[in-house]
Amino acid sequence: MAEYAEPFYDVNLSYAENYERGPFGAFGAALAGHAQPDGRARSPELGADLFGFPVNLPFGIPAGPLLNSRFTAAAFRMGFDLAVYKTVRSRAWECNPFPNVLSVHPRTDSLTPGDPELDEGVLADGRFGRPLSISNSFGVPSRDPDEWQPDMRDAIAAAGSGQLLIPSFQGSRQDGMTTGEYIADHVAAAKLVQETGAQLVEMNTSCPNEGRNRLLCDDPRLVGEITESVKNEIGDMPLIVKLAYLPSEEALERMVRETAAHGSVQGFATINTVSAKLVDRHGNQALPGEGRERSGVCGAAIRGAGLNMVRRLAGMRERLKLDFAIIGIGGVMNPADYRDYRAAGADAVMSATGAMWDCELAHQIKAGLGQ
């Protein structure tokens, strides 16, 4: 990792150790009060509006690496004006075994669902270098609401002027659960988030919570039913849906029609990761444990897929004459990537992998826009 500064999430530690001891690197220094004041030139986009809220710059960090209020507070101090609190549930949920993050080395520059390499096997190991892509194999862990609710309140309170804390939540599918019970669990989780004083909320439909490697967002009808029930509970609070890459134009349009067109969803965040079979240099399963043959891949390799989804959503928004926000995610590693996402139609942009290893990324974008 000689080419990079110390990441704020330590991939050599477990999720629990990061939760208790992190963040690290420049984020840790910022939290300790050693960060330099953000005296750089203000962006021309100062005062941008997102869901009716003013933000200094529509750029931040998506659900995933910001584990608790210490991480989100550090993100705000480092100039990331949008911070998504890692996805929570209505109950405690265990993390996948360590390791969770490996460096991923695809043979091609870009991974898009349908590429043969994703099923044949992509090399994953501990050699982190440029271009940087990583595995995301956590299993969407969550603390108990008795722990995350007060911490989320602290995270909301730490946002500065022009900054916005966005909580992420999802329902929890358990054996024997009926569809009605599954929908009700989403509603319960959303209500718990609303009780923290959150101003808006993101619902995660992009993780394999429908069974082995199946995604909730693969079922637009069910997502529509869930979002309608959630919206009935949270009222005027803006609701964002987090999507994976949907290859089918028909499926994507159906998702938009089942949610945004009905008024239950005010925005889409996309994409999460691209699922791939990960192997070591001998061709064996790279991540240990049952059910971990595949993992979500994020970072530079999914930039093309993320931009593609944003362009398609933006075109659909215009064609159907709908009003919803688009948050572009996937492979944002530098200021040029931010600009590309904005040009593609994203109202806001977020970076996970890029921000983890480059804690100055928000400052770099702001400085460039201020020139």
The predicted pLDDT at position 40 comes to 41
Indicate whether 37 pLDDT > 50.
no
Let me know if residue 331 belongs to a domain.
yes
**8-state DSSP, 95:** P
Let me know if residue 264 belongs to a domain.
yes
The predicted pLDDT at position 208 comes to 57
Indicate whether 371 pLDDT > 50.
no
Let me know if residue 3 belongs to a domain.
no
Average pLDDT over residues 300-323: 98
Please give the residue range of the domain that contains residue 270.
15-96+143-274+298-368
**Predicted confidence band of residue 143 (pLDDT cuts 50, 70, 90):** very high
Average pLDDT over residues 320-326: 98
Cα atoms found within 13 Å of the Cα of residue 368, Cβ hemisphere only: 12
| Spatial CB neighbours of 88, under 8 Å, sequence gap ≥ 6 | 142, 143, 145, 148, 152, 167, 168, 169, 189, 192, 193
Let me know if residue 328 belongs to a domain.
yes
Let me know if residue 103 belongs to a domain.
no
The percent of residues in the chain predicted with pLDDT above 90, rounded, is: 89
Let me know if residue 131 belongs to a domain.
no
Let me know if residue 6 belongs to a domain.
no
The predicted pLDDT at position 46 comes to 52
The predicted pLDDT at position 352 comes to 98
Q: Which two tokens stand for residue 5?
A: 């500064």
- CA–CA separation, 24 vs 187, rounded Å? 34
| Domain count across the chain | 1
Backbone angles phi, psi at 198, to 5 degrees: -60, 145
pLDDT tens digits, 166-219: 999 999 998 899 999 999 999 999 999 999 999 999 999 998 544 455 799 999
pTM over 0.85: yes
- Which CATH number covers residue 167? 3.20.20.70
More confident residue, 48 or 28: 28
Let me know if residue 126 belongs to a domain.
no
| Spatial CB neighbours of 24, under 8 Å, sequence gap ≥ 6 | 6, 7, 8, 9, 10
The predicted pLDDT at position 214 comes to 76
The predicted pLDDT at position 3 comes to 57
Write the CA distances from 159 to 254, 294, 302, integer angstroms: 35, 36, 29
Average pLDDT over residues 314-323: 98
The 10 Å CB-count burial string (b at 16+, else e) for 174-203 is eeeeeeeebbbbbbbbbebbbebebbbbbb
pLDDT tens digits, 238-286: 999 999 999 999 999 999 999 999 999 999 999 999 999 999 999 999 9
pLDDT tens digits, 255-267: 999 999 999 999 9
| Spatial CB neighbours of 180, under 8 Å, sequence gap ≥ 6 | none
